[in-house]
Amino acid sequence: MAEITASQVKELRERTGAGMMECKKALTENNGDIEAAADWLRKTGLAKADKKASRVAAEGRIVSAQAGNKAVLVEINSETDFVAKDGNFLAFTDSVGQAAVDASDVEALKATKLPSGETVEESRAAVIAKVGENVQVRRMARIESDNTVAAYVHGGRIGVIVELKGGNAELARGLAMHVAAMNPPYISPAHVPAEFVEREKEIALAQVKDTGKPQEILEKMISGKIAKTINELCLTGQPYVLDTNQTVEQALKAAGAEVVTFVRLAVGEGIEKQTDDFAAEVMKQAGLA
């Protein structure tokens, strides 16, 4: 068997980013052949990725990318916030964001080749081998339109894409910032489901029916309460975060613009996070529970 030198280990580490002991083992398993050792590390990385796939990954990062009239958001998850700040994870997520611009969905994205020559899925497995945690490319949102599109990411945790008819890129980005901050569920009152309005009417009626006021007064009170609720829920009715002296609707009218759609992603939303009882775990390990 060929003797494994420190320079070989160093070269393999620089090429793959794997740990020193893993590189030495890979070279030993492959008789000092660096190419074969690099392939071996990738294969074992895939095996490790499969083993970690069942572990909850609810932290991570939202990345965005934009090219011409295309904008994309991608959520990539890790198990801990610590790994979400790791250089290997950050480099991976940046490359995935750029690759996503021309991908139709997550499955197509996973098969997309990165500048390194690896697919996103192969690169993901390599990152798992480096960071020791489950890493998942969870979901993406993409808008391609002849209208103005803008993407915005706040702190790596919340991402928004806005499509704007009329206006300009500056306004679209400002509205994306607004959506990130305020999280409106609807664009305008016209987008609020009729069943939601009916339910709000029932609630408002129950709140005022015993006031003893005439029916026409009650109806005005109910209409006012519903209009206020809907305005607070709709993007157009909210005070614009970049200029609270006007509503979003007023800002849009001033620019001759209209919001066609928006998408908002937040890291980990919808994932049931595992909560560990540390005291109970210690007692279990000590045989006291």
Question: Given pLDDT bands bounded at 50, 70 and 90, which one contains residue 31?
Answer: confident
Given a cut of 90, whether residue 277 has pLDDT beyond it is: no
Distances (CA, A) of 45 to 23, 120, 121: 12, 13, 11
Residues 6+ apart with CB under 8 A from 275: none
Question: In sequence order, what are the beta bridge partners of 162?
Answer: 150, 262
Residue 106: what residue type? V
Strands 148-154 and 158-165: antiparallel
Q: Model-level pTM?
A: 0.74
What is residue 47's predicted lDDT score, i.e. its pLDDT? 45
Are 122 and 42 in contact, with CB atoms under 8 Å apart?
yes
Question: Given pLDDT bands bounded at 50, 70 and 90, which one contains residue 45?
Answer: low
Strands 70-78 and 239-240: unpaired
- 149 φ/ψ angles, rounded to the nearest 5 degrees: -125, 145
Lowest-pLDDT range of 138-152, 177-191, 193-207: 193-207
User: For residue 281, with 0-12 CB atoms within 10 Å meaning exposed, 13-18 middle and 19 or more buried, which class applies?
Assistant: exposed
Beta strands across the sheet bearing 136-144: 59-67, 70-78, 136-144
Number of H helices, E strands in the chain: 12, 8
Are 152 and 160 in contact, with CB atoms under 8 Å apart?
yes
Hey, what are 229's tokens?
Answer: 């609720």
Question: Given pLDDT bands bounded at 50, 70 and 90, which one contains residue 12?
Answer: confident
For the chain, the farthest-separated pair of C-alpha atoms sits apart, in whole angstroms, at: 97
Domains of the chain, by residue range, sit at: 6-52, 54-144
What is residue 146's predicted lDDT score, i.e. its pLDDT? 95
Residues 6+ apart with CB under 8 A from 257: 164, 165, 166, 167, 171
User: How much is the mean pLDDT over the chain?
Assistant: 86
- Rounded distance between C-alpha atoms, residue 2 and residue 108, angstroms: 42
Question: Given pLDDT bands bounded at 50, 70 and 90, which one contains residue 74?
Answer: very high
Q: In this prediction, what percent of the chain has a pLDDT beyond 70?
A: 87
- Higher pLDDT: 100 or 41? It is 100
Are 165 and 147 in contact, with CB atoms under 8 Å apart?
yes
User: For residue 251, with 0-12 CB atoms within 10 Å meaning exposed, 13-18 middle and 19 or more buried, which class applies?
Assistant: buried
Question: Given pLDDT bands bounded at 50, 70 and 90, which one contains residue 85?
Answer: very high
Over residues 208-219, mean pLDDT: 74
Q: Which CATH class is domain 54-144?
A: alpha beta
Question: What DSSP character marks residue 242?
Answer: T
CATH number of 6-52: 1.10.8.10
Question: Strand, coil or helix: what is 261?
Answer: strand
- 267 φ/ψ angles, rounded to the nearest 5 degrees: -60, 130
Given a cut of 90, whether residue 41 has pLDDT beyond it is: no
Over residues 215-239, mean pLDDT: 86
Over residues 162-184, mean pLDDT: 96
What is residue 109's predicted lDDT score, i.e. its pLDDT? 96
Helical pair 20-29 and 6-16, crossing angle rounded to 10 deg: 110
Given a cut of 60, whether residue 131 has pLDDT beyond it is: yes
